[in-house]
Each structure stands twice: as structure tokens, then as C-alpha cells.
């Protein structure tokens, strides 16, 4: 029996590799670019290297962010090895596929690029304008945005709206956080996005081991259109005294079988991010049901942003 187990494990690994390779080939992705070495960008790059087995060029204009990101990737790989999720050889192979760079010009040979910088519209527009000039004419230009219109991002790739050679290759691959853990990813088309671009994005995300859901380019898309009003309503319940923090989180955890309650989840997402998305939903739809909670705004003003600042609805 002891001889059969490694053989079975090897067989499963070969099947996984073969399936991933076929999906990657279907998407015509031989090299991936990721812009932004923060938590999301690093997670996307690492999963692509591990699951899709493609070389990844990770770009960030900060050397410090790149060093921090790569160190975190190595820590995650070492943890997987220690828990026997992967072998040391697999960890070494994944690490070898990650190349940190500080210039967008290094993305001149990629087949697919995913932007994962902060939710600042003008920053994303500037990046996509540059990517359209730097990347090969066949490359898919994807964004990890959670709230900004894909149509607007695509429009930033050209000054001539009749020229869709670049804008037709723009799509959103909105990964869920943390990327190495969460299986879901939203694939969102802008008005200009071609069917070929959409199909290739779906196939490549499958090669990364993700389960894609396709959404229209509507404020909040699918995930945040549903999730953020849920979180916002929980904050309103706290704000108006319907229930205290622990009761609100406990009833949702124990009543709907979610792993954490809405207030704790908001802390993990970042209260500033929650507020920003609610403002987008409210502003773009004009619907009062998306009005951000007053308490949510006050907490952001106080600098109580959740886990990343050490204090939110809970103390960290």
C-alpha cells in the first residue's frame, strides 16, 4: 500500500497538470503579466504560477513592494510544503516562474496581463493607456477592479472611439480575496469587449483553478452588488440599535452558515473599500437603497479601517 500512494499522488498531479496545460493553451497564454504587487496582485501571480504553470512578470513601481510581495509568496509556498499540500520541488518551480520588475515596459512579450492596483479610476485609465501601447496586439488586457466600469477602462486604451483594436481586448477578471483560497472569479465584459476576449479570459481563469461567473458591466457587478448592501445594512442595524456587534455577526454565522459575520467581513475587506464601493453604487444608480451608512463613513473618517489599521468593528 505504501508504494501505491505516491503513484496515485503522481497520477493526480499529472492529470491536474495536463488539464491546466490544455486550458492555458486554449487561452493562448504563454506568459502572464500582473501589475501591482499588493495582496491581490501577488495572490494572482502566485496562483497563476502554481496552477496554470505560466511564467509571470510581476510589475510594481516600488522595489519595496516587490520585495515584500515575493517574500510573502515564498512564505505561502513554504507553508504549503510544511502542510504537505505541495512538494518542495513544486514550490521551487512556482517561485522560479515569478519575475519581479519595476517597469511596465517589461510587459512587451505577455499574452495576458492583469492589473491589480488600488481602486483609483485615473490610475487605472493611465495604466491601460500605456498597456495598449506596450503589450503585443493580441494580448488580453484585464483588470481586477471591483467597482470601476470596464467600458470606461477600455475607452482609456485609445483616443479614437472607432478604433476598437485595443478596447476589444479589455475585460475584467475580478478575483476574490484571498486569491490563493477563494475559488470564485467574476469575468466582466465592457461594451467593447469581444467574445473571443471573454472566452479566453474564462479559459485562463479555469487554468488557474478558479470557477468563473460572467457578469455584465453594471455598477458593483455581481459580487459587490449583492455583498456590499448586505454589509451596509448590517452597519445600519448596528448604527440604529437593532442589534449589537456580536449579535449581528452571530446570527448570520449561525443562521446562514457563513464563515464570518458581516461586520467582521467588512473589517477584513477594509471599511474604506466598503465605503468606496457603496458610493459608486449609490452614485451610478441614483438609488437610495445604496446610500452608505453614516456610521461607516464616520469610522473611515476616524481611520478605523478594519484589520489593516488595527481597529474597525473589532480590535486587531
Question: How far is the C-alpha of 103 from the C-alpha of 115, rounded, in Å?
Answer: 13
Q: What percent of the chain has pLDDT over 90?
A: 87
224 is catalytic: yes
Which residues define the annotated binding site for NAD(+)? Answer: 36-41, 60, 119, 124, 146, 177, 308
Whole-number mean pLDDT of the chain?
Answer: 92
Closest CA to 171 of 135, 207, 196: 196
257 is catalytic: no
Residue 22 near residue 51, CB atoms below 8 Å: no
28 is catalytic: no
What is the model's pTM? 0.86
The 8-class DSSP code of residue 85 comes to S
Q: Judge: domain 32-216, CATH 3.40.50.720.
A: yes
Question: For the structural domain made of 223-309, what CATH number should be given?
Answer: 1.10.1040.10
What's the sign of the alpha-carbon dihedral 285, 171, 179, 214? positive
Domain ranges of the chain: 32-216, 223-309
DSSP-based three-state secondary structure for 56: strand
Question: How far is the C-alpha of 12 from the C-alpha of 10, rounded, in Å?
Answer: 5
Query: What is the reported pLDDT for 307?
Result: 95
What's the sign of the alpha-carbon dihedral 61, 62, 67, 69? negative
Sheet of strand 56-59, all strands in order from the earlier edge strand to the far edge: 98-101, 56-59, 32-35, 112-115, 140-143, 170-175, 184-189, 211-215
Q: Where are the alpha helices (H) located in 240-307, listed in sequence order?
A: 245-256, 262-269, 271-285, 294-301
**Which residues have a Cβ under 8 Å from the Cβ of 54 and sit 6 or more positions away?**
24, 29, 30, 31, 32, 48, 97
Question: How far is the C-alpha of 228 from the C-alpha of 269, rounded, in Å?
Answer: 10
Per-residue pLDDT reduced to its tens digit, 265-286: 999 999 998 998 999 899 999 9
82 is catalytic: no
Per-residue pLDDT reduced to its tens digit, 181-214: 999 999 999 999 999 999 999 999 999 999 999 9
Amino acid at each position: 500500500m505504501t508504494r501505491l500512494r505516491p503513484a496515485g499522488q503522481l497520477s493526480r498531479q499529472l492529470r491536474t497538470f495536463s488539464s491546466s496545460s490544455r486550458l492555458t493553451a486554449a487561452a493562448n497564454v504563454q506568459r502572464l503579466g500582473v501589475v501591482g504587487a499588493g495582496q491581490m496582485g501577488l495572490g494572482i501571480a502566485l496562483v497563476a504560477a502554481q496552477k496554470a504553470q505560466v511564467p509571470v512578470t510581476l510589475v510594481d513601481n516600488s522595489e519595496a513592494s516587490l520585495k515584500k510581495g515575493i517574500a510573502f509568496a515564498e512564505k505561502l509556498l513554504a507553508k504549503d510544503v510544511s502542510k504537505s499540500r505541495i512538494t518542495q520541488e513544486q514550490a521551487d518551480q512556482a517561485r522560479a516562474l515569478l519575475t519581479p520588475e519595476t517597469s511596465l515596459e517589461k510587459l512587451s512579450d505577455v499574452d495576458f496581463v492583469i492589473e491589480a492596483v488600488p481602486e483609483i479610476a485615473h490610475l487605472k485609465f493611465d495604466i491601460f493607456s500605456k498597456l495598449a501601447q506596450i503589450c503585443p496586439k493580441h494580448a488580453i488586457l484585464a483588470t481586477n477592479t471591483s467597482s470601476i466600469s470596464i467600458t470606461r477602462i477600455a475607452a482609456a486604451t485609445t483616443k479614437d472611439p472607432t478604433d476598437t483594436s485595443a478596447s476589444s481586448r479589455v475585460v475584467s477578471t475580478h478575483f476574490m480575496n484571498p486569491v490563493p483560497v477563494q475559488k470564485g472569479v467574476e469575468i466582466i465584459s465592457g461594451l467593447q469587449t469581444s467574445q473571443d476576449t471573454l472566452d479566453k479570459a474564462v479559459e485562463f481563469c479555469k487554468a488557474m483553478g478558479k470557477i468563473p461567473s460572467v457578469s455584465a458591466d453594471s455598477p458593483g457587478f455581481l459580487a459587490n452588488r449583492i455583498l456590499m448592501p448586505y454589509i451596509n445594512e448590517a452597519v445600519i442595524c448596528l448604527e440604529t440599535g437593532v442589534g449589537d456587534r456580536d449579535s449581528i455577526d452571530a446570527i448570520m454565522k449561525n443562521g446562514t452558515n457563513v464563515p464570518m459575520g458581516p461586520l467582521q467581513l467588512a473589517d477584513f475587506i477594509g471599511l474604506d473599500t466598503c465605503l468606496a464601493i457603496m458610493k459608486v453604487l449609490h452614485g451610478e444608480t441614483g438609488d437610495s437603497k445604496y446610500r452608505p451608512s453614516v456610521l461607516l463613513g464616520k469610522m473611515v473618517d476616524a481611520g478605523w479601517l478594519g484589520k489593516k489599521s488595527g481597529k474597525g468593528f473589532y480590535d486587531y
